[in-house]
Every structure is written in C-alpha cells, then in structure tokens.
Structure 1
Amino acid sequence: MRTNTLALAAASAAAVLLAVPAPASASRAAAQAYLCEEDGKRDSRGFSSVDGTELEWDDDSRFDDARKHVVKVWTAGSLKQVRIKPDGATSYADLEWKDTRQTANGRHLVYGRWDPNTGTDYVWFNRAYLDDGRKLGADVHRRRVAAHELGHALGFCHKPYNGLYPSLMWAEYSHFADKGINGPTEQTDIKAYHALWG
C-alpha cells in the first residue's frame, strides 16, 4: 500500500491547526458576551417570554413606534431563531406592551420594565418619563427603552458595564444611550443571542 506524502503532510498540518487554541482576546470577548452583571444570573430561555421559538405580543400602549422598532431590530440580520409576531385570534399573547405612570415605590427613574408572570408577561413604558415633553419624551428614547426591555423578554440579563464590549443590555439607560445604542450590539448582544437561541 502506497502512502501519499503530500496528503499525509496536509492532514498533519490540519491537526496541528485544530489543536491551537483561539487567541485569548477572542475567548475573553466570547465569555464577556454572556456574563451577567448580577452574580448567579445567566441568560436563560427559561426566564424569558418566549414560548418554544415564538414570542407573540399584544399591544395596549400608546408607544406603537417603539414596539415596531424593537421587533425590527431584534429580528434583523441573523436574528431569526425567535419569531416575534402579534398574537392571533386563536392564541394567547406571551407578552403585552402596556403603559404606566409611576415615580414612587421603587419606580423613580425607571423608564421601562419587563414584568414576567405566570401567564402573559408585560413590558411597561413609564409615561412619567417617556411622554412627549418629559425627560425622555422622544421616539429615540422610547425605542431604546423598548429594545432593552424586549432583550429581557428574550431571556437576556444585564451585562457588565465597560467600554470594550458595548451592550444594549447594560443596566443604566445612560450607559447605552450615551453610546447611541438603539438595538442589539454585534460585540455582545448578537453573540449572546446566538449562544442562547442558536
């Protein structure tokens, strides 16, 4: 039996390349994408509003522009694993968009909130800050708040704040607003999405 020397050399080189670990910076970037700010928390399919691979929503909010924006940014490009769509006549909403107006009882400077429940979950827009003429009373702010809260509904936790790995899922609104982040970031959020949803 004759051995092809060139084929054997190519196979050996391929085996060596496969054994070389990824650069440390790439490994850190991947790990950073999935870290949560709060100890012990992780991105989780189980702690999301997603039913299987669908998230059906119902809208009872005056901020329809913000809801349209977030459906667009969380289903753009390669983000197709979770279907985000309105609920139908024969289905129940997994998530409902609602409005509130609160500044007391822990709601001071809370612009929006994802509220998981045993049935339908809610995303609350706080009109005390988001109405026209208020502190964040413009479409750009309402869109950012909604995109962040839908991130929670998709199972994502707050990401640690640092300048190297920008994220829509930073806990402080000013952190992602100051960076002009209006949707999931390539460096962190999209990687986390694919790690969680495929």
Structure 2
Amino acid sequence: MALAASSAAAVLLALPPPAHARPASATPHKCEGGESDSRGHSSVDGTELAWDDESKFDDARKHAIKAWTAGTLKQVKIKPDGATTYADLEWRDTSNVAGQWANTYGKWDPNTGTDYLWLNRAHLDAGKPFGNNEHRRRVAAHELGHALGFCHKDYGYGQYPSVMWADYGLIEGKDINGPTSNDVKAYHAPWG
C-alpha cells in the first residue's frame, strides 16, 4: 500500500503545471528558430554589464547604451569597465567580408570570458554602403540587444516592429534606431 501511495505521488509530481493563457493584449516575445530570450545567454553579470572599448565607432556605442538604458530600461546597469572590474563585453572592430561576414554588419560573440561585440568596418566605414552614423547606431543597438540576452524576434514581420529582427532591411525600412515598445516589453520579461 505504501508503494502504491508513493507511486501515485510521483505521478502527480511529474504532471506539468497548468498552462495559463496569455492576455490578449500581450505582445508575443517569439524568437526565430525556437530560441528564447535568456538572462543566462547574455553578457550581463548579475544585473551589470561592464564594457571596454576597442572600437572606432564611439558614437554607435554611446547610442546603443543610451537606447538600452532609456525610460524604464534601468534593471541592467551598463557602464564602462573600471580599474577594479573585469569587462563583461568588449566593443571591437573587424573588416571582413569572407564567409559569414559577407553580409554581416555586426555580431555579438559570446565567450567563456569577456564577450565581444563586433562592428564590421567593411560595411560600416565611411564610404561603405552602410557607412554613416544612422546605420552604425542601428547595428550597435541590435547587437547590444543580443548582449542583453535577446534573440532574433519573429514578431510577424511588420506587425510587431523590433530592433531585434534578423533582417537589417526590415529594421532600416521601419526606421528603427533602438528598442521599440515590443522590445521594451521583452526586456522586462527577463529583467523585471
């Protein structure tokens, strides 16, 4: 009898919790490719992201940081690395059009130590197809979003605008220069 009771208890504990319906007004935080936003897959250490700068695109970095710390986006403190801290993220430049870089303007590169946020001078330098501050700012804001733990969004392209769309042409076409209201809602889901 005790075995039957303990078996029944195990079965009850194994049942998934009931699913709760999402309010109709909630914006989906759906990601492409089955990924999900994640505090654990970010450059953030606790609630702080300390950065170091090895990029020539200071304006883009400043814009991205300002965009992701504006308004209600205060839960993650994004600040420069100091003498007594280690950098969680380093802004770097590359100039590469080989392989994956052929059409890549920027990239967040997570590592076991310091993560890198690459800006591709081959596309973003003056005189290049996307060589102005507006394009650089968009790319930097998008990549910093990845460093904050956000995946490429699948918001029914056009229906729910996002700086985290994978297709830069859509971000440019909607003139998105930082987190949209949908991105702000997605930010608060993992960060509070």
Q: Distance in 1 between matches of 2:80 and 2:173?
A: 31
State the Cα RMSD in Å: 1.2
- Cα distance in 2 for partners of 1:106, 1:78 equals 35
Aligned to 1:178: 173
The whole-number CA distance in structure 2 between the counterparts of 1:23 and 1:164 is 18
- Aligned residue pair count: 171
Q: Percent of aligned pairs with the same residue?
A: 65
**4+ residue stretches of structure 1 with deviation over 6 A?**
none
**1:62 aligned onto 2:56:** yes
Equivalent residue in structure 2 for 1:106, among 84, 100, 103: 100
Hey, what's the Cα distance between the residues in 1 that align with 2:122 and 2:101? Answer: 10
Q: Which residue of 2 aligns with 1:77?
A: 71
TM-aligned CA distance change 1:81 to 1:109, over 3 Å: same
Which residue identity lines up with residue 138 of structure 2 in the other structure? R
Distance across 1 between alignment mates of 2:115 and 2:109: 6
- How far does residue 105 in structure 1 lie from its aligned partner after superposition? 2.0
Q: Which runs of 5+ in 2 are unaligned?
A: 1-20
1:89-104 to 2 correspondences below 5 Å: 89-104=83-98
- TM-score, length basis structure 1: 0.84
Decide whether aligned partners of structure 1 residues 92 and 23 sit closer, same or farther in structure 2, where only a CA change above 3 A counts.
Answer: closer
C-alpha distance in 2, partners of 1:165/1:196?
A: 19
TM-score by length of 2: 0.87
- Cα distance per residue 1:122-154 (max 9 Å; x no partner): 000000000000010000000000000000000
Aligned equivalent of 1:163: 158
Tell me, what secondary structure is at the counterpart of 1:106?
helix
- Tell me the CA shift for residue 23 of structure 1: 6.0
Superposition deviation, residue 162 in structure 1:
1.5
Larger radius of gyration: 1
